């Protein structure tokens, strides 16, 4: 090869180095990159994934995680003819949050309990199922249902983060375990719900558990062996000593000083779990991840001495992809006290926000706290931020550095503060999408207020929900007819199209309630989203016109993905109502009261299949015993219920239907049956563990009295209704 050719090669490589995600290297050679196979799919394919839209290779579609597909066969003109191609029964009654991954003609999707399914992507035929056998005791460590958001693929392997803290690589052909690594200290209440990401020769995974008391971190493992490569902690260890981790230097330099020397963070871990968003910036070779909320939530008890920011809680952090060495961070909610995770979807793109409107590579997020942030992807510099919701109580805006200007009472929890957004966030994990064609981000936004008040929870709740807040605050013992309808109206959800350059809303579709599904956009100007009401909907990406909708007979929380085989485009959605909103808030949306609802449903143009029928087993909404106990008992029952049970069985003892509604349970009318379950752990295998460590016999009986009292209150108010009745 002569010098001239080397010069040309150099010029080409410079060009490639400068080009961003959307231009695949081989496109410069005049050809479309080859579709990866099961055996060879690797990080390079993911880096070029935008150019191979017939496959869906990683959680957010590409490393930029825009959830934007270039497939155009399904378009605004023909979307009305979209029909069911095939369906698959996940056989679960718990939440399903996974993005289906498709490569080599195979779909890899996860259901509840971290179960992995390999399905023929064209026919839906089951190829194999892998059940990692998560125990009921480990299931009880979850804040928000035994959910899983999906897998990663790499060279013949499928990698899954298991709820109990394992990271496992499976043989993509057979589902057999290739390697299995425990990523957490099992004596602590860690869980994994997020999808692993493969970057070069490493697989990245974080964990959850901040509501129960853990210290957050993200780890990188060798994708071939499962050996730990690096780890980055997001909160200091209690002694503020080095961990021998990639985060040591930045903690010594700045982060340690943002925490006091005592307080509950030293025993409850401080939080900051990296439980969802992890992206890879191919241009700057950075791994960028979102960090979760504090543990415990209440800053006054967590860190009573200082007034520091508590780094890296509620931050977006960038590290070197190979070593995990710190590059930059941006903290969305300094000294978090509101459960304001910054773990929501991170999206990379180029926006005209540079000098003279030049393109600038940015990372964007709409975290729980209600502000939409645009940051420089290379440096983390704050470019802009605006509230993406209409109503916000905790802050009035951002200062020039992007720091929130807090309401003076937002942290005064002794008297209580009605926070909007509440801990459910103005946007939760349900992924947003971004279309570089419309220049709009599509956010599953919501409004869920909550009264935040100093707590009654204490050390006795170690390893169960323990946020130092009072979940009985604002919850009345009795309430008048119509209250549940009123609450349902007050909890709002929408699909919001947001212009990140102008930082303003372009259009909005209102849903019947919050907790709707993740979003996907396509180059044919469509936006897809599933809803709490059980519809999969296609919208015009420019103006939000509803172009097509199909009832899928289950509330949808997962995001869709799309792929093509033999010239046909498919839209895939995993259904299965559940997750944090369903368990923690309940209040009985109709679609909710349907057990055994998890399916994969795949659509194509002219598809002639059928959505599986709604299950017909109707919950018998009648109390099974007489009310008993004094008002004092009921008050105590409410307090103990709020501390111990509400996060799974719902406020006001109104379940979402994912877990049993205790008002209608035969066990609530049978002291012995109740004790067997609540005190003796009869249903431990299913995730209902014994609460003997936290409750006296009298407490348990007071809860039962409160539950039955709520059942009879519902009858009195006409709220005890048959299935399907809105
Ligand atoms: C971490 C979530 C979680 C928490 C917290 C929780 N439960 Fe449960 N509970 C469950 C699950 C899961 C089931 C269903 C088990 C099954 O399917 O067999 C259940 C079932 C039950 C049942 C059986 C209902 C029936 O009709 O089968 C009772 C009674 C019950 N829980 C009471 C309580 C009480 C009282 C508390 C608080 C002291 C509580 N639970 C806290 C998860 C939870």
What is the per-residue pLDDT across 105-157, written as a single tens digit (0 to 9) for each?
999 999 999 999 999 999 999 999 999 999 999 999 999 999 999 999 999 99
Q: 469-504: per-residue pLDDT in tens?
A: 888 988 999 999 998 888 888 888 999 999 999 999
Q: What is the pLDDT of residue 464?
A: 83
Rg from Cα positions in the chain: 25
Would the CA dihedral through 663, 667, 670, 675 be positive or negative? Answer: negative
Of 4-18, 81-95, 187-201, which gets the smallest average pLDDT? 4-18
Total length of the chain: 726
Tell the residue nearest (CA) to atom 5 of ligand 1: 645
Stretch 598-622: mean pLDDT, rounded?
89
Q: What is the pLDDT of residue 556?
A: 93
Q: Kindly tell me the burial class for residue 193, based on how many C-beta atoms sit within 10 Å of its own C-beta (0-12, 13-18, 19 or more).
A: buried
d(CA 112, CA 578): 9
Stretch 442-459: mean pLDDT, rounded?
85
Q: 71-119: per-residue pLDDT in tens?
A: 999 999 999 999 999 999 999 989 999 999 999 999 999 999 999 999 9
Of 5-14, 222-231, 408-417, 667-676, which gets the smallest average pLDDT? 5-14
Q: What is the pLDDT of residue 657?
A: 81
d(CA 258, CA 269): 15
Quick one: which atom of ligand 1 is closest to the CA of 465? 5
Contacts of 141 by beta carbon, 8 Å cutoff, 6+ apart: 189, 190, 191, 209, 212, 463
Confidence band, pLDDT 50/70/90 cuts, at residue 512: confident
Ligand 1 centroid, distance to 292 Cα (angstroms): 27
Ligand 1 centroid, distance to 678 Cα (angstroms): 7
pLDDT of residue 277 exceeding 70, the answer is: yes
Q: What is the pLDDT of residue 11?
A: 37
pLDDT of residue 284 exceeding 50, the answer is: yes
d(CA 101, CA 563): 9
Ligand 1 centroid, distance to 649 Cα (angstroms): 7
Ligand 1 centroid, distance to 117 Cα (angstroms): 27
Ligand 1 centroid, distance to 447 Cα (angstroms): 27
How many alpha carbons lie under 13 Å from residue 281 in its C-beta half-sphere?
28
> How many Cβ atoms sit within 10 Å of the Cβ of residue 556?
31
Q: Look at the block and give the residue holding tokens 């009035």.
A: 396
Residues with CB under 6 A from ligand 1: 140, 644-645, 647-649, 659-660, 662, 665, 667, 674, 677-678, 683, 686-688, 691, 703
pLDDT of residue 438 exceeding 80, the answer is: yes
Tell the residue nearest (CA) to atom 26 of ligand 1: 665
Ligand 1 centroid, distance to 668 Cα (angstroms): 11
pLDDT of residue 543 exceeding 90, the answer is: yes
Q: Are 604 and 82 in contact (CB under 8 A)?
A: yes
Tell the residue nearest (CA) to atom 3 of ligand 1: 648
Q: What is the pLDDT of residue 595?
A: 60
Confidence band, pLDDT 50/70/90 cuts, at residue 592: very low
Mean pLDDT of the chain: 92
Query: Of 563, 562, 547, which Cα lies nearest the Cα of 80?
Result: 547
Q: What is the pLDDT of residue 306?
A: 81
Confidence band, pLDDT 50/70/90 cuts, at residue 571: very high
Pocket test for ligand 1, best of 593, 649, 668, 669 (most atoms within 8 A of CB): 649
Query: Of 328, 228, 216, 227, which Cα lies nearest the Cα of 270?
Result: 216
Stretch 638-643: mean pLDDT, rounded?
94
Ligand 1 centroid, distance to 445 Cα (angstroms): 30
> How many Cβ atoms sit within 10 Å of the Cβ of residue 543?
11
Q: Are 60 and 341 in contact (CB under 8 A)?
A: no
Q: Are 380 and 348 in contact (CB under 8 A)?
A: no
Q: Look at the block and give the residue holding tokens 């415990």.
A: 296
Query: Of 437, 433, 569, 548, which Cα lies nearest the Cα of 65?
Result: 433
Q: What is the pLDDT of residue 458?
A: 56
pLDDT of residue 24 exceeding 70, the answer is: no
Q: Look at the block and give the residue holding tokens 């169960």.
A: 464
Ligand 1 centroid, distance to 690 Cα (angstroms): 9
Stretch 545-555: mean pLDDT, rounded?
94
d(CA 27, CA 256): 47
**386-406 core/surface letters (b: 16 or more CB in 10 A; e: else):** bbbbeebbbbeebeeebbbeb
Query: Of 143, 94, 159, which Cα lies nearest the Cα of 273?
Result: 143
Confidence band, pLDDT 50/70/90 cuts, at residue 457: low
Q: 367-403: per-residue pLDDT in tens?
A: 999 999 999 999 999 999 999 999 999 999 999 999 9
- 175 or 555: which leads in pLDDT: 175
Confidence band, pLDDT 50/70/90 cuts, at residue 720: confident
Quick one: which atom of ligand 1 is closest to the CA of 665? 26
Cis bond upstream, residue 312 (ω within 30): yes
Q: What is the pLDDT of residue 2?
A: 35
Ligand 1 centroid, distance to 677 Cα (angstroms): 8
CA dihedral 412, 415, 416, 418 (to 10 degrees): -90
Nearest-5° Cα angle at 175, 217 to 345 = 35
Q: What is the pLDDT of residue 4?
A: 37
Stretch 536-564: mean pLDDT, rounded?
96
Q: What is the pLDDT of residue 182?
A: 98
d(CA 247, CA 454): 32
d(CA 391, CA 408): 17
Tell the residue nearest (CA) to atom 6 of ligand 1: 645
Q: What is the pLDDT of residue 461?
A: 65
Q: What is the pLDDT of residue 6?
A: 37
Quick one: which atom of ligand 1 is closest to the CA of 583? 2
Confidence band, pLDDT 50/70/90 cuts, at residue 721: low
Tell the residue nearest (CA) to atom 10 of ligand 1: 688
């Amino acid at each position: 090869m002569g010098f001239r050719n080397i010069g040309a090669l150099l010029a080409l490589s410079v060009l490639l180095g400068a080009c961003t995600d959307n231009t695949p290297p081989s496109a410069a050679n005049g050809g479309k990159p080859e579709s990866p196979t099961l055996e060879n799919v690797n990080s390079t394919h993911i880096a070029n994934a935008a150019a191979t839209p017939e496959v869906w290779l990683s959680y957010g579609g590409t490393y930029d995680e825009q959830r934007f597909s270039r497939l155009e066969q399904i378009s605004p003109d023909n979307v009305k003819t979209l029909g069911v191609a095939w369906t698959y029964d996940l056989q679960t009654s718990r939440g399903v949050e996974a993005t289906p991954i498709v490569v080599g003609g195979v779909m890899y999707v996860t259901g509840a309990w971290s179960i992995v399914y390999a399905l023929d992507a064209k026919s839906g035929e089951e190829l194999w199922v892998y059940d990692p056998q998560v125990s009921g005791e480990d299931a009880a460590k979850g804040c928000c249902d035994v959910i899983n958001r999906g897998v990663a693929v790499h060279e013949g392997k499928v990698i899954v983060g298991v709820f109990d803290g394992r990271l496992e690589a499976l043989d993509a052909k057979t589902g057999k375990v290739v390697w299995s690594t425990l990523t957490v200290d099992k004596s602590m209440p860690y869980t994994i719900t997020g999808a692993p990401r493969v970057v070069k020769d490493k697989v990245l995974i974080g964990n959850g558990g901040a509501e129960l008391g853990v210290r957050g971190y993200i780890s990188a493992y060798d994708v071939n062996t499962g050996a730990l490569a690096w780890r980055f902690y997001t909160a200091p260890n209690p002694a503020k000593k080095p961990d021998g981790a990639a985060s040591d230097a930045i903690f010594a330099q700045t982060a340690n000083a943002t925490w006091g020397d005592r307080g509950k963070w030293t025993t409850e871990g401080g939080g900051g779990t990296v439980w969802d968003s992890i992206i890879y910036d191919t241009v700057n070779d950075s791994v960028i991840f979102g960090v979760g909320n504090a543990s415990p939530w209440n800053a006054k008890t967590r860190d009573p001495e200082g007034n520091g920011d508590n780094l890296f809680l509620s931050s977006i952090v960038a590290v070197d992809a190979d070593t995990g060495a710190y590059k930059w961070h941006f903290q969305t909610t300094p000294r978090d006290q509101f459960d304001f995770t910054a773990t929501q979807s991170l999206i990379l793109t180029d926006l005209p926000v540079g000098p003279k409107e030049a393109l600038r590579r940015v990372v964007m997020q709409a975290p729980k706290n209600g502000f939409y942030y645009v940051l420089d992807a290379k440096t983390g510099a704050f470019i802009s931020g605006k509230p993406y919701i209409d109503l916000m109580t905790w802050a009035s805006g951002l200062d020039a550095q992007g720091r929130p200007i807090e309401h003076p009472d937002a942290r005064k929890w002794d008297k209580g503060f009605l926070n909007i957004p509440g801990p459910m966030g103005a946007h939760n994990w349900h992924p947003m999408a971004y279309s570089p064609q419309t220049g709009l981000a599509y956010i599953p936004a919501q409004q869920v207020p909550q009264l935040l008040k100093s707590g009654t929870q204490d050390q006795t709740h170690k390893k169960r929900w323990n946020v130092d807040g009072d979940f009985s605050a604002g919850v009345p013992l009795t309430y008048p007819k119509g209250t549940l309808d009123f609450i349902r109206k007050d909890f709002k959800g929408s699909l919001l199209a947001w212009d990140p350059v102008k930082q303003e809303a372009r259009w909005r579709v209102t849903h019947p309630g919050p907790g709707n599904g993740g979003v996907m956009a396509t180059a044919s100007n469509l936006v897809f989203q599933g809803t709490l009401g059980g519809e999969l909907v296609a919208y015009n990406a420019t103006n939000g016109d509803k172009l097509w909708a199909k009832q899928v007979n289950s509330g949808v929380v997962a995001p869709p993905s799309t792929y093509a085989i033999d010239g046909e485009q498919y839209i895939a959605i995993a259904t299965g109502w559940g997750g944090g909103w369903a368990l923690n808030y309940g209040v009985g949306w109709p679609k909710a009261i349907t057990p055994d609802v998890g399916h994969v449903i795949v659509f194509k143009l002219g598809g002639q299949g059928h959505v599986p029928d709604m299950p017909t087993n109707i919950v018998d909404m009648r109390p099974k015993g007489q009310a008993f106990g004094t008002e004092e008992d009921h008050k105590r029952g409410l307090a103990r219920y709020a501390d111990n049970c509400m996060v799974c069985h719902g406020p006001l003892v109104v379940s979402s239907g994912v877990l049993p509604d205790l008002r209608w349970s035969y066990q609530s009318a049978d002291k012995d049956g109740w004790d067997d379950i609540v005190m003796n752990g009869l249903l431990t295998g299913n995730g209902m563990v014994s609460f003997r460590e936290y409750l006296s016999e009298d407490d348990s009986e007071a809860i039962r009295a409160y539950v039955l009292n709520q059942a009879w209150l519902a009858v009195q108010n006409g709220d005890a209704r048959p299935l399907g009745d809105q």
